[in-house]
């Protein structure tokens, strides 16, 4: 089964896979090439997770800074 692109995964899915990769890498029972591929996948998962976390923090910040009488504004995440 092909792996999902990190940007298409939920935050929880990405963190779960990242945790599994860390455990495999810490185990030390894999070859260098496989370890490098897992490390690259882990970096991609970490970056995608950080982006989702930042977007969630921005949404919370928008909600907290507006008072009850402020007009609602649309949240638009970065298109990077």
In the prediction, which pLDDT does 26 show?
A: 94
pLDDT of residue 80 exceeding 60: no
Mean of pLDDT values over 70-79: 67
pLDDT of residue 48 exceeding 90: yes
- Assign 1 a pLDDT band (cuts: 50, 70, 90): very low
DSSP conformation letters of 15-54: HHHHHHHHHHHHHT-S-HHHHHHHHHHHHHHHHHHHHHHH
Work out the mean pLDDT of the chain and round it to a whole number.
86
Task: Give residue for tokens 């982006």.
Answer: 51
The Cβ of residue 56 has, within 10 Å, a number of other Cβ atoms equal to: 12
Handedness of CA 36, 11, 22, 79 (dihedral sign): positive
What is the number of alpha carbons within 13 Å of residue 79 lying toward its C-beta?
Answer: 1
- Assign 77 a pLDDT band (cuts: 50, 70, 90): confident
In the prediction, which pLDDT does 42 show?
A: 95
């Amino acid at each position: 089964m092909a792996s999902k692109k990190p940007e298409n995964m939920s935050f929880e899915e990405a963190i779960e896979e990242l945790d599994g990769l860390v455990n495999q890498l810490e185990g030390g029972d894999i070859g260098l090439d496989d370890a490098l591929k897992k490390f690259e996948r882990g970096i991609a998962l970490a970056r995608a997770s950080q982006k989702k976390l930042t977007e969630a923090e921005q949404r919370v910040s928008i909600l907290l800074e507006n008072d009850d009488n402020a007009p609602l504004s649309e949240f638009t995440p970065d298109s990077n």
